Structure 1
Amino acid sequence: MDNRYSRQLLYKNIGRDGQRLLGEKTAVIVGLGALGSLSSEMLARAGIGKLILVDRDYVEVTNLQRQTLYTEQDAAAQKPKAAAAHEQLSKINSSIDIESHIAHCDAVLLVSLAKDADIIIDGTDNFDTRMLINDASFKLGIPWIYAACVEASYSSAAFIPGETPCFRCLTPVLPAATLTCDTAGIISPAVHMAVSQQVTTALKILTGQYSAPYHLHIGNVWDMDYMKIDIGKMTETNCPTCQTRDFPEISRTESNAMKFCGRDMIQVIDERLTENVVTAALEQAGIEFKRTPYFIEFNYGDVRIVSFSNGRLLMHHVVNLNKARTIINQLFG
């Protein structure tokens, strides 16, 4: 250990005791796009004990500009990000434990994965999943760290059950979520700034060194602007997450069809649509398809569909939920 982590051991705020603590900790990373792929790499290199990775998407060539863990080969193979990240991280640090899930992160999955973890890292790109992470965090009493970036802007904050307000309390002061990477673009330095702050905070929490004052960090790398806002007194009196503890996102019935944030793609989940059912329907309809180790891909008119074996379908070039359901009914009855 001394040789591999020697420079980190020399750092006075980590040292031997901090390194030992890191090696005993588990982090759940939800989403392995720009944020999650970089945070998982930083934590793997730092020597965290275990990473639990969750992502529902696969690598595309447009990801490579900012998602530094992936390669052109991953994009050409359309490899699921959870599988590609697992493979790359294992090469980076073979001594840590890595568990990966190619799945949509719903309440049941998140709670089951996070119940024995020490921290949850936000690698998502949408408000709804962050609200779910927030509820799971405060229900289980596990810290989570938010990060976001778009264009040249970035933001981050840690939410500690029993010590800080929660994400729901802060929604009025968080940066507007109307812009996304797919509509407004993003530069890689903004990602690195967001994740650098996020992972630094994680290292503090995991080594027992994070304390008040607690801040929301907001910056813009292009303009070289930065500010931090003290969030310590922003708790909402009747917040259903951190005050009344109703946890509405965990108990919410999730739709079986949902739009991807900022993208012309819809996800549909139907457990009946197993690999055998899908291939049989396509063969009967005379529709050509490509099989990979992870999914089946085919075109239906101008719609590209990726079908996973667990009944989860990604439908590209579709923005209307009713159209998505109509296609499902036409193909599979």
Structure 2
Amino acid sequence: MVDFTERYSRQIRFQPIGKEGQQMLSAARVAIVGLGALGTVLSSQLARAGVGYLRLIDRDVIEVSNLQRQLLYTEQDAEAGRAKAEAAAEALVKANSQIQIEPVLTDVTAVNAEELLGDVDVIVDGTDNLQVRYLINDVAVKHGIPWSYGGAVSSYGTTVFIEPGQTPCLVCLFGADDGSAGHDTCDTVGVLAPIVSMIASMQVAEIIKFLTGNRQALKREITYVDIWQNEFRSLRLGTPKEECICCQKRQFLSLQHKDEGLVVSFCGRQTIQIKPQGKLNVSLAILAERLKALGRVQANRNLLRFETSDCTISLFADGRALIHGVDDIWEAKRIYAQYIGL
């Protein structure tokens, strides 16, 4: 086993952290939502920094188009269609076997958000989903947990560290979630890997400041960077808005929407998620045996990958499935019913 002081010696030598700060990192618990471009950089840096417990939450599987910017994954992972959270955890254990890493292969929804996010010291946003960010904000404010907002697309990105009671919350900054879904994504306008690493690194810097007790060094600003246009701008946060329905009136609207939704279309991906109300009534191993005669099957205890000439299905242990190669909801439902049952 690698000696604690030796492993983190260069970080300990940084005076604002020192050995006491490093021990605080080792005792810290962090949840990362999304293990895509931002999430892989975030989790790698936090694991290597020695954060003692990381919960990695992601609903997706690895595709070859991810490899340009999602640094923890390999061609073999993409070929196998592995679950991101599972593959990320495996890679991180190889980098630091002395911390606890918990992969969670699921959506963050109003039903499970408090269970997944309510018992950590910091929540980290690695998602590109606005509705999930409002869920994170609700949990953070309700439980008094700081969280790091980050977004990167095209050549630009934004980040801010939100501390309930000390800074405005997401609703203060951007208004309440109105249910709209129209915004640029990596699938629609692309993304450069350097902006991902820059935004994620800024997020990690603020998280480490907070977890090591260096709150006076926190930026307290929204930071915007465009590496193509050579822009770097910051806007001072100020104080929470007196009329904010979330952090002042404590109305947690996102957490009230308990309908998880049966179908979700992944923008630009030709992938549709089917999420039944009940759980699978058979194990993945049993289902894999049934499907072997119909196509190519790869399976472990968390994920089954089934491929035919017409479709590809990534099926999770809770019954949730990603139907790849289709953009019609009814066709996705038909495929799920045909091979899995609905």
TM-based fold match above 0.5: yes
Aligned to 1:102: 105
Residue segments in structure 2 that go unaligned for 5+ positions in a row: 176-180
After superposing the two structures, state which structure 1 stretch, 207-216 or 49-58, moved more. Answer: 207-216
- Please state if 1:90 is matched with 2:93: yes
Q: Pick closer, same or farther for the CA change 1:145–1:87 going to 2, 3 Å.
A: same
Mapped to 2, the partners of 1:74 and 1:320 lie a distance apart of: 27
Map of 2:272 onto structure 1? 266
Tell me the residue number matched to 2:333: 325
Q: How far has the Cα of 1:132 moved from its partner? A: 0.9
Aligned residues of 2:311 and 2:325 also touching (Cα < 8 A): yes
Selected match of 2:70 from 53, 67, 72? 67
The answer to whether 1:298 aligns with 2:301 is: no
Q: Is 1:251 aligned to 2:261, yes or no?
A: no
Q: What residue is the counterpart of 1:13 in the other structure? A: 16
Quick one: distance in 1 between partners of 2:286 and 2:324? 19
C-alpha separation in 1, matches of 2:233 and 2:334: 48
Q: Which of 170, 187, 191 is residue 182 of structure 1 equivalent to?
A: 187
Q: Deviations over 1:277-296 (max 9, x none)?
A: 99769959974351321433
- Note closer, same or farther for the CA distance 1:23–1:285 as it changes in structure 2 (3 Å cut): closer
For 1:261 and 1:210, the matched residues in 2 are separated by 38
Using the TM superposition, give the Cα deviation of residue 213 of structure 1 relative to its aligned residue in structure 2, in angstroms. 6.2
* 1:175-324 equivalences in 2 (<5 Å): 178-211=183-216, 214-233=220-239, 235-252=240-257, 253-270=259-276, 271-276=278-283, 283=290, 287-293=294-300, 294-298=302-306, 302-324=310-332
**Cα displacement string for residues 18-54 of structure 1 (whole angstroms, at most 9, x for unaligned residues):** 1111111000011111111111110111111111111
Task: Tell me the SS of whatever aligns to 2:149.
Answer: strand
Q: Deviations over 1:233-266 (max 9, x none)?
A: 4x44443321221211111022121122443222
Identity across the alignment (%) = 40
Residue in 1 aligned with 2:82? 79
Instruction: Give the drift of 1:92.
Output: 0.5
Q: Which TM-score applies when normalising by structure 2? A: 0.88
Asked whether the equivalents of residues 275 and 308 of structure 1 are also in contact (C-alpha less than 8 Å), the reply is: no
What is the deviation of 1:297? 3.1
RMSD: 2.6
- Can you list the C-alpha shifts for 1:137-195, whole angstroms capped at 9, x where unaligned? 111110110111011111100111111111122226xxx96211111111110001100
Aligned residues: 329
Contact 1:303 1:316 survives alignment (8 Å): yes
Q: Distance in 2 between matches of 1:74 and 1:300?
A: 19
8 Å Cα contact 1:127/1:177 also seen in 2 = no
